[in-house]
Homo-oligomer: A and B are copies of this chain.
């Protein structure tokens, strides 16, 4: 057994108690009407605004204890007025969306008169395991509540004071709406072994969603006995076809790579049809280089601009999350499809072309959660899709794929209404 599963008995009892409370809260939440959940979300948002000073004070303590952390980690940990307002606004946005629960997904009547409905229900209890960003406490708690699920939140130890302050505001919202406070529970201990417990609590947790670096997520997926919705890396591709409109392609390539380089929908590889290596490739590469992006290219890309350095085999599998791009030529759309299906993390890929048949071939054959035609990969986002707040982008195919919002945290049941039918 690995370190993650190394646990103690006292902690075990504490975690099981948490699980039992979550299960009871989930049973209550499952049939709570939408307006009650929305009232709790809005009251929590109000509490976050009203108690901003308290949250900032807790965060200041976290920051003071976190002097040894790296710059990016401190940046993620920090809460200011803008971020606190964004949390509150985020909860209100979740409240504004329609209730995903109770909706009839399909209905039909059988020849024997049985009326069958497939109805959306919550999954039950969702475990969220995250790292330094304390705002995940509000975002994830809100999405779980909206979808009628109880949440067990396990934040990073470096942000525990901030997370506690935020969780206290969520509890206040639940209380004011008359909902059970155990609907959103923060694991109180910073003991790392708590994560190991969560991964084995199949009777109390229905799904685990890890938020954080790829290695954390991979380790959780490897060890968990509870189903996991994974958001691994976003090794996203843009393919510029021979039939592309070059001006459109220039705009989209630059946006896909450089708008924000640190998000999972940022492009990490540019593929160009070999037949336009002498024409389009130099223009596209120059745009990127001039914008401050390092380009690691194959022979064709290196020939296109002297500033291009040689690409290494592992570059094709790398999510840089930085101003770096791998670049090479492929043999038409089928070459692009092969390359992408071999190297992609199945997150998001885009084709630039004015040829609809080529585009449709790409869209149907590329095996990724999101495939785009003539649009930037940076649209890979629940909000941009109009799906509301998201808890991540699933790179799995099982259960949920692509943006994971409240609707993706649901299951269904079959409701059958009859009049005394028996089976012959």
Chain B's closest residue to A376 (CB) is B422
Task: Point out the residue from B116, B245, B397 that lies within 8 Å of A420, measured CB to CB.
Answer: B245
Q: How many copies of this chain does the complex contain? A: 2
Could you say which residues of chain B place their CB within 8 Å of the CB of A415? 363, 371, 373
For the complex, count residues of A whose C-beta is within 8 A of B: 62
CB 8 Å contact bits of A408-424 with B (1 = contact, 0 = none): 00011111111111110
| Docked complex: A106-132 residues within 8 A CB-CB of B | 108, 110, 114, 116, 121, 123-124
Q: How far is the CB of A236 from chain B (nearest CB, A)?
A: 13
Task: Point out the residue from B222, B248, B374, B416 that lies within 8 Å of A417, measured CB to CB.
Answer: B374
A115 to B175, CA, bound (A): 41
Please judge, given known A-B contacts A397-B123, A413-B371, whether A422 and B259 are in contact too, CB under 8 Å.
yes
CB 8 Å contact bits of A370-408 with B (1 = contact, 0 = none): 111111101100001110000000000111011100000
Could you say which residues of chain B place their CB within 8 Å of the CB of A420? 245, 248, 251-252, 374-375
**B401 and A413: CB pair below 8 A?**
yes
**B206 and A251: CB pair below 8 A?**
no
A367 at the interface (CB under 8 A from B): yes
Task: Point out the residue from B206, B369, B413, B421 that lies within 8 Å of A374, measured CB to CB.
Answer: B421
Q: How far is the CB of A142 from chain B (nearest CB, A)?
A: 21
Could you say which residues of chain B place their CB within 8 Å of the CB of A121? 367, 397
**A402 and B397: CB pair below 8 A?**
no
**A374 and B423: CB pair below 8 A?**
no
A162 at the interface (CB under 8 A from B): no
A364 at the interface (CB under 8 A from B): yes
A140 at the interface (CB under 8 A from B): no
CB 8 Å contact bits of A14-29 with B (1 = contact, 0 = none): 0000000000000100
Q: Which of A123, A248, A372, A378 has the most CB of B within 10 A?
A: A372
**B416 and A411: CB pair below 8 A?**
no
**B110 and A384: CB pair below 8 A?**
yes
A172 at the interface (CB under 8 A from B): no
Chain B's closest residue to A250 (CB) is B420
A272 at the interface (CB under 8 A from B): no
Could you say which residues of chain B place their CB within 8 Å of the CB of A374? 417-421
A368 at the interface (CB under 8 A from B): yes
A156 at the interface (CB under 8 A from B): no
**A368 and B401: CB pair below 8 A?**
no
Please judge, given known A-B contacts A398-B206, A399-B398, whether A373 and B417 are in contact too, CB under 8 Å.
yes
A255 at the interface (CB under 8 A from B): yes
Could you say which residues of chain B place their CB within 8 Å of the CB of A116? 385-386
**B385 and A110: CB pair below 8 A?**
yes
Task: Point out the residue from B363, B365, B403, B418 that lies within 8 Å of A373, measured CB to CB.
Answer: B418
**B367 and A30: CB pair below 8 A?**
yes
A227 at the interface (CB under 8 A from B): yes
A116 to B363, CA, bound (A): 12
A375 to B418, CA, bound (A): 5
**A227 and B227: CB pair below 8 A?**
yes
The list of the 6 closest CB pairs from A to B, nearest first, reads A375-B418, A255-B422, A248-B420, A397-B411, A399-B399, A378-B423
A-B contact pairs, 23 of them (CB 8 A): A30-B367, A206-B397, A251-B420, A252-B421, A259-B422, A367-B413, A369-B414, A371-B413, A373-B415, A374-B420, A374-B421, A375-B416, A375-B417, A375-B418, A375-B419, A375-B421, A375-B422, A376-B423, A378-B423, A379-B421, A384-B423, A398-B398, A401-B414
